[in-house]
Structure 1
Amino acid sequence: MNIHQLDINHLKSLETPFYHYDMELLANTLDAAKKAADKRGFHLHYALKANFNDRILELIQSKGYGADCVSGNEVQKSIDMGFPASQITFAGVGKSDKEIILALEQQIFAFNVESIQELLIIDELAGKLGVKANISLRINPNVDAHTHHYITTGLDENKFGVPNSELEKAASVLRSCEHVNLLGLHFHVGSQITDMNVFKSLCVKVNEWKNWFEERGTTIKVLNVGGGLGVDYQQPDENPMPDFEAYFDVFDKFLERNPNQEVHFELGRALVAQSGTLVSQVLYTKSGIKKNFLILDAGMTELMRPALYQAYHKIEKLGSSNQEELLNYDVVGPICESSDCFGKEVTLPISERGDLIAIRTAGAYGEVMASRYNLRDEIRYVYG
């Protein structure tokens, strides 16, 4: 249920801060994405790093999604939550031996390999275990995602993927590996992408590298094009889910696929972001010479994104009417850091101690990034 549909007195009876998850919206979003992908023959994996709340994972797994993991613990969590090992991929630029061994023992679908050295380590560890590892080689396509530089991953200057200059060597090393099976190619250019032209550019690069390998006699079964589809942080109620039809249509039109060649996606934020709202209570109001402050009981320990890369989240006062007088506030948290700020000069109805504030579109990279800094309480959550 949408946060504005909930009884304000009930909300005030709950201990704040907490995350509220709109499970109906989440289910509808998952269904819409799956329907749009299925009709084009695409495979969907959910990126656990966006949110690994148990109830959310249960719902996603029940809808037939695979899992995209970036740590050994995420691989184990996926297994524990019922995701079939045959639908789990393991990405990440720095996989430890322990994590690799865990994934090998679980016989996951594929490793997304990001360097020649990693390729050799997986081959060695698979040999010791007497198994064969399926891998997709992650290629850095040098495509600009036109998003914040902290969440851009596909440029030559980024740490992710095998650089183009090493692909000839990577292909040679692959031929010498006895315990690795090249399943496919993997690409991911960044996050929070709303310009479909970025994905068109990615398709062009994927086509080039697919052909490059096939011209050298290598069969490519899987094209993993990552994720990165963005959501509307400014108008969460007007646009509660992305246009999945338009997104998948780009790949359907511009990606060159051979018969029986699979296309895989790794969506995270696009599926869960709008379903989550951080609810906080006003502890204090303070007026300075130039600023009015709302000091909340939630801080960067509950929602890191604004402090980490100045991310925007819509901030609302719950239970307010359209007739209330408005004032501009800097909305800040209680943490002893100047960066603990959710928004500057936010126009809100005049607020006072005890009022509830909603920070919207917080279902992705909210709860999962929460910390105990300042010895804060564990984050709480409720479902609606």
Structure 2
Amino acid sequence: MFSNKDIAQFANLETPFYYYDLSLLQDTLGACASAAKAYGFHVHYAMKANFNEVLLQKIKETGFGADCVSGNEVKKAVEVGFSNAQIVFAGVGKSDREINESLDQDIFCFNVESIQELEVINELAAKKNKTAKVAIRINPNVDAHTHHNITTGLDENKFGINSWDLPACADMLKQCPQLEFVGIHFHIGSQITNLDVYKNLCVRVNEFAQWFEERGFIVRILNVGGGLGINYHQPEAQIPDFEAYFKIFNDFLEVRSNQEVHFELGRALVGQSSSLISKVLYVKNGKKKNFIILDAGMTELMRPALYQAYHQIENLSKREKGIAAKYDVVGPICESTDCFGKEVEMQETSRGDLIGIRSTGAYGEVMASHYNLRENVRVAYSEL
């Protein structure tokens, strides 16, 4: 909930801008770190969710590692000061340049997603006389019960090595002297709110770990990915239940004494820490629709246009109780999909009112674009 002081501050800033609540971020990171420590679990922050450097510094200071899906994310993690020994490089399409640069940084591990990628990393590591640690990302065919555009763990998805290719994968590992197999990796999707899904994942992880061990491999790392969701409909319920989340894995994973359990959390750590603040440019009232046209658009927040994502929208200038009208809340971009919400109930809205779009800390600022030659999105921060 925004305070009157917050809203008074917003009135003096040029819109649109992302507003980061650093106190909430700190509390969320602390809750996650405490819950993970209770079980000896290791957390890597999924940098694709948000690579704002102020946030990255706070996350690094918490002691988390970095989960990267591009060479530039690896570079940024190193620049910010994440320990190289805590940097993991995932991604279905790593280029030779990205692999070479990551080898030079002696990162902890490559999460490998194809048999051909194993060959490539082995060849590139040999040229540098290096040994690359690798974990095999397996597609477990577990339904995450989330939006189909953010599901990653089904046979139909492009991610990971399918179970029927594992014998060939095991053979390739044995033929690659520059690779050190350290474990197995999974990630079944994003914005998962049904924790029972993770019970199903644990069953599959146990099966695959046993499969590799039966073939003479030592599985030191069980990387179960991330995907824990946040409550977009009730952003005031701000900190996810990390204790319940980690307890699922403690109860259902079969972890040996020599094994570590790793997680790659992104949205759950940063999603509620930010709101997009915008101003009403125009109000268009029609026979069938009322439109609020904001100075923020899909260039600032892509998620609703990309996969119809829901964000709570509030009129910050008129916070009295009671609903006066329904509006389609849209942006200024020359695209019909430039819409943040349809039939949104709120107080009667006027030109110049401040609008807050909640829960934008993940996949918000980082997906902003210059389409229509838009300027860089602005950023503001709360005080700790």
Cα deviation code 1:334-363 (max 9, x no counterpart): 000000000000001111110000000000
Alignment of 1:252 with 2:266, yes or no, is: no
Following superposition, the deviation at residue 114 of structure 1 comes to: 0.1
Q: How many Å separate the matches in 1 of 2:381 and 2:256?
A: 43
2:110 and 2:5 map into 1 onto residues whose CA distance is 43
- 1:1-384 correspondence runs (5 A): 3-237=2-236, 239-323=237-321, 326-384=324-382
Amino acid at match of 2:192: I
Q: Is the 8 A contact 2:323 2:345 kept in 1?
A: no
Q: Is the 8 A contact 1:44 1:265 kept in 2?
A: yes
Distance in structure 2 (CA, Å) of the matches to 1:18 and 1:240: 21
- Which residue identity lines up with residue 285 of structure 1 in the other structure? V
Residue 5 of structure 1: how far off its partner (Å): 4.8
Is the CA contact (8 Å cut-off) linking 1:4 and 1:318 kept in structure 2? no
1:241 is displaced (CA, Å) by: 1.0
- How far apart, CA to CA, are the structure 1 residues paired with 2:323 and 2:112? 56
State the 1:260 CA deviation.
Answer: 2.1
Q: Deviations over 1:57-96 (max 9, x none)?
A: 0100011010000000000000000000000000000000
Secondary structure of the structure 2 residue equivalent to 1:371: coil
Structure 1's consecutive aligned runs of 4 or more residues displaced over 6 angstroms after TM superposition are none
Q: Show structure 1 runs of 5+ residues with no match.
A: none
* Aligned positions, number: 382
1:336 & 1:279 partners in 2: Cα distance?
20
Q: CA deviation at 1:325?
A: 5.2
Distance in 2 between residues matched to 1:122 and 1:275, nearest whole Å? 37
Counterpart secondary structure, 2:139: coil
**Separation in 1, partners of 2:43, 2:164:** 30
**8 Å contact kept, 2:66–2:86:** yes
Structure 1 residue 253: Cα displacement: 0.2
Q: Deviations over 1:26-72 (max 9, x none)?
A: 00000000000011000000000000001000100011010000000
What is the CA-CA distance between 1:323 and the residue it aligns to? 4.3
State the Cα distance separating 1:321 from its structure 2 match: 3.1
Deviations 1:139-165 (A, max 9, x none): 000000000111000000000000111
| Identical amino acids, percent of aligned pairs | 61
Conserved 8 A contact 1:274-1:361? yes
Whole-angstrom distance in 2 between the partners of 1:287 and 1:167 = 59
The SS at the match of 2:343 is strand
**TM-score, scaled to structure 2:** 0.98
Unmatched runs of 5 consecutive residues or more in structure 2: none
Deviations 1:158-215 (A, max 9, x none): 0000011100000000000010000110000000001011000000000000000111
Residues 3, 277 of structure 1: 8 Å contact kept: no
**Could you tell me how far apart the structure 2 residues matched to 1:304 and 1:158 are?**
22
Shift of 1:6: 3.3
- Report if the CA contact (8 A) 1:50-1:268 is conserved: yes
AA in 2 matched with 1:348: M
- Once superposed, what is the RMSD of the aligned Cα atoms? 0.9
Q: Structure 1 length as normaliser, TM-score?
A: 0.98
Q: What residue identity is the alignment partner of 1:229?
A: L
Q: Aligned equivalents of 1:55 and 1:94: distance in 2?
A: 28
